[in-house]
Amino acid sequence: MSDEEKQTPAVEPPVEKGPTPSEKVPTARVEVMDDARTRALTEALQSSFKVVRVIMVILAVVFLGSGITRVESSKKAIHLQFGKYVDTLDPGLVWAWPNPIDKIVEILVDEPTEITSDVGYRTADEKEPQASMSFQPTYDGYTLTGDGNVLHIKAKMTFSLDKTKGDTIRKYKFGFSDIQSLLTNVLDNAVYHASASRSAIDAYNNNTELGKAIERRVKETIEKIDSDLQLKIELLPVVKVPLDVLPVFDAFRTVVEERSKTVKDAEAYAVSTLAKARGQAEVIKGGGKTAANALLTSVEAEEKAFSAQRSYYEENPLLFEQRLVAETMQRVLTNAVDVFYLSGRTPRIWLNRSPEKRKLKEGGAP
Amino acid sequence: MKKNQINTSLIIGAFLVIIFGFMLFTFQVREGEVAIKTRFGKAVLYDDLYVEGDTLPDGKAVGDVKLKADIDPGLHLRLPWPVHDVHIFDKRIQSSEWAFEQTGTRNAQPILITVFVAWRISEAELFNRRHDGDLAKADDMLKGKVRSAQNAVIGKYAFNELVSTNKDELKLDEIEEEMKTRVAEASKVNGIEIIMVGIKRLGIPESVTGAVFERMKAERQAEIQKIAAEGERQAMEIKAKADLEANKILAQARAEAIQISGQAEAQTAKYYEVFKQNPELANFLFQRKALEGLLKENSTLILDPNTPPFNLLTQPDATKAAKP
């Protein structure tokens, strides 16, 4: 408000024209009062407009500020403009026009969700499988196997969004009215497919393979429903046989384990026998080679010795023989454990006998 | 001062008019939704150019291109009520399932089946007309269609095509696909698209389960005996095979060793030629070597005192006398 405006409604001094003071006084009072009211009203309006303007500025700031959203690191955000998808935003501080122009929808992406397929497991009143001579389909939870048997199968599945895939988050948030319910149905269907294509024993004994089959089927079905929906899945099935037939299944499992052990033992025996045989074969071959080498070396040496000694022998055979016999006797007697020499008897030689105890000989020590 | 007041009032007024106009002449369709706009109760097709019952320039009836009535997410214009009315529907995939229902296979075997359906609105205008835009009514309609499809389809297949360990025999995918085709065909006129029909659970009547238990027990007993015998047989077979192989390896090694010895002996023949030059000496040397070899270790000798060199101790002259 300008100074001029402020001064305008100032109180003007009453102008005295003609009438007597007794006539003029009431009119002047009324005018003065009117001016005062007008001025007060104007001032009040001015103040109100000031307040309105301040409020407007504050509202505008608040309005624009309300468009700021902090997206947590475990979340992603979808930016909608007039309800239409614009972009998927990463964690951090984001700004968008406030509602109803833009909208930021946050989605938890890191936390896995767990769903369970137990239509083939629990009873109608949510209990564990009950012992029974027969099953009532509307009460007992069970599933049929490929060989027409019945089993209890429960599968727990955890799934989370695969952040790296394009339209996944958009589809996850806006593509399904109740994704958990749909995925539970998909999981139930996968459990049925997996059990209907294998024998009860196979499903009971090979839990891992059953889990893989269920997981494969779940992924195939999700792909069929919407190929943009990329989920990370982990699955764990629990298989139980009806309590009434459990003993015979356990006996079967024991026999299977025993068979497996017997076969494994036999396989271990086979491996060890073959390894031993191969080792022995190498020893035999090595022995053959060694003996052959020894023979060759020995004969060659003998041949050399023969050639060297032949001239001495031919010169005096008897002396040569006696010399060699004496040398030989010396070596033999040195190595011998016991030597007995008896007068008047024919010499006898005991070979390679290990004496039990060394003792004094009848004729004295050698 | 008055001018400023007027300006402020005008701004506020204009702002309010814009907001009011925005609300009155526009509407938003959010992601996951589909909308239709009606003009005096009739669906607006082709962005307000045609209404149902008109003939399009290409000669097609509007009924053939009903998808044009569907309004996608975003901001759209409208005239205020009662000229235009906007109906918004959930276009997300819905999942419906129902309780066990008994049906029969081709070979008249009674079975109980639960089926689920994944579906969504494909034509909002049709959907609105058939079900007043009510998802629950659509669910009821689907229940009937699914029941009739499952009865018709399951009745064409034998029990062992629903459950079997033989992959060639099992027709589960085919059965589900056929049910989907039937339900989809029947739901098309209701503005519904069927995404998937799947068997959720299959059961057998209670009277049959008792017999199944007995069969399971008998089957396991038979398998127990078979497996035990089979294990023994397998183990024996493995061991026998290993023994045979080991013997073969050893025999081969021995043959090889003999062959090596034979080759060595053959090689020694050239040396024996030399020994022929003086067989007496050769014989003497061989005998000496043999004697020495035999008496190498742990031998006990019992000798006559005349055996050289002991004869030197008892008859010192005998050796000299013996000399020529």
Q: pLDDT of B86-135, one tens digit each?
A: 999 999 999 999 988 999 999 888 999 999 999 999 989 889 989 988 99
Interface touch B249/A278, C-beta < 8 Å: yes
Between A284-298, B62-76, B191-205, B214-228, the lowest mean confidence (pLDDT) is in B62-76
CB of B233 less than 8 A from some CB of A: no
Give residues with Cβ within 8 angstroms of A76, minimum separation 6. Answer: A88, A89, A90, A91, A106, A107, A109, A163, A169
Mean pLDDT confidence for B60-89: 79
State how far the Cα of A200 lies from the Cα of A144, in Å rounded to an integer: 8
Percent of chain B predicted with pLDDT > 90: 48
The torsion angles phi and psi of B65, rounded to 5 degrees, stand at -125, 45
Between A93-107, A147-161, A333-347, B33-47, the lowest mean confidence (pLDDT) is in A333-347
CB of B275 less than 8 A from some CB of A: yes
Confidence of residue A29 (pLDDT cuts 50, 70, 90): low
Superfamily for domain range A114-241: Band 7 domain (3.30.479.30)
For B:1-40, CB contacts with A below 8 A are 1, 4-5, 8, 12, 28-33
Interface touch A189/B241, C-beta < 8 Å: no
Answer whether residue A345 shows pLDDT above 60. Answer: no
Nearest-by-CA chain A residue for B208: A134
Range picked from A16-25, A260-269, B5-14 for highest mean pLDDT: A260-269
Percent of chain A predicted with pLDDT > 70: 83
Q: Of the candidates A119, A150, A337, which has its C-beta nearest B299's C-beta?
A: A337
Interface touch B165/A288, C-beta < 8 Å: no
Tens digits of residue pLDDT in B278-302: 899 889 988 888 888 888 777 777 7
Q: Of the candidates B31, B242, B305, which has its C-beta nearest A274's C-beta?
A: B242
Q: Hey, where are the domains in chain A?
A: 3-65, 68-107, 114-241
**pLDDT reported for residue A1:** 39
Interface touch B116/A189, C-beta < 8 Å: yes
Answer whether residue A7 shows pLDDT above 70. Answer: no
> Would you call A305 helix, strand, or coil by DSSP?
helix
Tens digits of residue pLDDT in A92-106: 999 999 888 899 998
The structural domains of chain B, ordered by start, are 22-90 (no CATH), 94-204 (3.30.479.30), 279-322 (no CATH)
Mutant choice from B177, B238, B272 vs A, greatest count of A C-beta within 10 A? B238
Percent of chain A predicted with pLDDT > 90: 34
Q: Exposed, middle or buried, A308 (CB in 10 Å: 0-12/13-18/19+)?
A: exposed
**pLDDT reported for residue A38:** 86
- B38: which strand partners? B43, B85
Mean pLDDT confidence for B59-79: 72
Q: Of the candidates A82, A176, A266, which has its C-beta nearest B28's C-beta?
A: A82
Confidence of residue A28 (pLDDT cuts 50, 70, 90): low
Confidence of residue B303 (pLDDT cuts 50, 70, 90): confident
Tens digits of residue pLDDT in A350-360: 444 555 545 44
**pLDDT reported for residue A216:** 94
Tens digits of residue pLDDT in A122-143: 888 888 888 888 888 888 889 9
Q: What is the mean pLDDT of chain B?
A: 85
Interface touch A189/B198, C-beta < 8 Å: yes
Tens digits of residue pLDDT in B3-18: 666 777 788 888 889 8
Mutant choice from A81, A144, A252, A309 vs B, greatest count of B C-beta within 10 A? A144
Residue among A244, A185, A307, A113 at smallest CA distance from B210: A244
Distance from CA of A74 to the nearest CA of B (A): 23
Interface touch A328/B238, C-beta < 8 Å: no
**pLDDT reported for residue B63:** 53
Q: Are B32 and A175 spatial neighbours (Cβ–Cβ below 8 Å)?
A: yes
Answer whether residue A115 shows pLDDT above 80. Answer: yes
State how far the Cα of B40 lies from the Cα of B81, in Å rounded to an integer: 9
Two structure tokens written together for B300: 């006990």
Between A223-237, A306-320, B2-16, B71-85, the lowest mean confidence (pLDDT) is in B2-16
**pLDDT reported for residue A12:** 44
Q: Please report, for residues A148, A196, B112, B114, B214, the alpha-carbon distance to residue B109 in angstroms, rounded to integers and kept in the order given.
A: 13, 17, 10, 16, 19
Confidence of residue A283 (pLDDT cuts 50, 70, 90): very high
**pLDDT reported for residue A27:** 62
Q: Are B223 and A250 spatial neighbours (Cβ–Cβ below 8 Å)?
A: no
Mean pLDDT confidence for A79-83: 91
Mean pLDDT confidence for B18-47: 86
What would the 3-class secondary structure string for chain B be?
A: CHHHHHHHHHHHHHHHHHHHHHHHHEEEECCCEEEEEEECCEEEECCCCEECCCECCCCCEHHHHHHHHCECCEEEECCCCCCEEEEEEECCEEEEECCCEEEECCCCCEEEEEEEEEEEECCHHHHHHHHCCCHHHHHHHHHHHHHHHHHHHHCCCCHHHCCCCCCCCCCHHHHHHHHHHHHHHHHHCCCEEEEEEEEEEEECCHHHHHHHHHHHHHHHHHHHHHHHHHHHHHHHHHHHHHHHHHHHHHHHHHHHHHHHHHHHHHHHHHHHHHHCCCHHHHHHHHHHHHHHHHCCCCCEEEECCCCCCCHHHHCCCHHHHHCC
Mean pLDDT confidence for B246-264: 94
Q: Of the candidates B92, B200, B253, which has its C-beta nearest A188's C-beta?
A: B200
State how far the Cα of A148 lies from the Cα of A125, in Å rounded to an integer: 26
Interface touch B295/A351, C-beta < 8 Å: yes
**pLDDT reported for residue B246:** 96
* Residue in the block written with tokens 């049929």: A144
**pLDDT reported for residue B54:** 57
ipTM of the prediction:
0.71
**pLDDT reported for residue A344:** 56
Mutant choice from B2, B95, B192, B214 vs A, greatest count of A C-beta within 10 A? B95
Confidence of residue A18 (pLDDT cuts 50, 70, 90): very low
Contacts of A266 in chain B (CB under 8 A): 234-236, 238-239
Answer whether residue A57 shows pLDDT above 80. Answer: yes
What would the 3-class secondary structure string for A236-275 be?
A: EEEEECCHHHHHHHHHHHHHHHHHHHHHHHHHHHHHHHHH
Distance from CA of A203 to the nearest CA of B (A): 11
Contacts of B268 in chain A (CB under 8 A): 295-296, 299-300
Two structure tokens written together for A254: 């024991």
B230 versus B300: the higher-pLDDT residue is B230
Mean pLDDT confidence for A176-184: 93
Q: What is the dihedral of CA B219, B221, B225, B230, to 10 degrees?
A: 40
Q: Of the candidates A5, A148, A176, which has its C-beta nearest B1's C-beta?
A: A5
Distance from CA of B28 to the nearest CA of A (A): 6
State how far the Cα of A93 lies from the Cα of A89, in Å rounded to an integer: 10
Mutant choice from B300, B304, B323 vs A, greatest count of A C-beta within 10 A? B300
Answer whether residue A152 shows pLDDT above 90. Answer: yes
Interface touch A199/B165, C-beta < 8 Å: yes
CB of B231 less than 8 A from some CB of A: yes
Answer whether residue A6 shows pLDDT above 50. Answer: no
Confidence of residue A14 (pLDDT cuts 50, 70, 90): very low
Interface touch A351/B294, C-beta < 8 Å: yes
> Would you call A225 helix, strand, or coil by DSSP?
helix
Q: Please report, for residues A242, A256, A279, the alpha-carbon distance to residue B213 in angstroms, rounded to integers and kept in the order given.
A: 8, 21, 55
Answer whether residue A20 shows pLDDT above 60. Answer: no
Q: How far is CA B212 from the centre of its chain?
A: 28
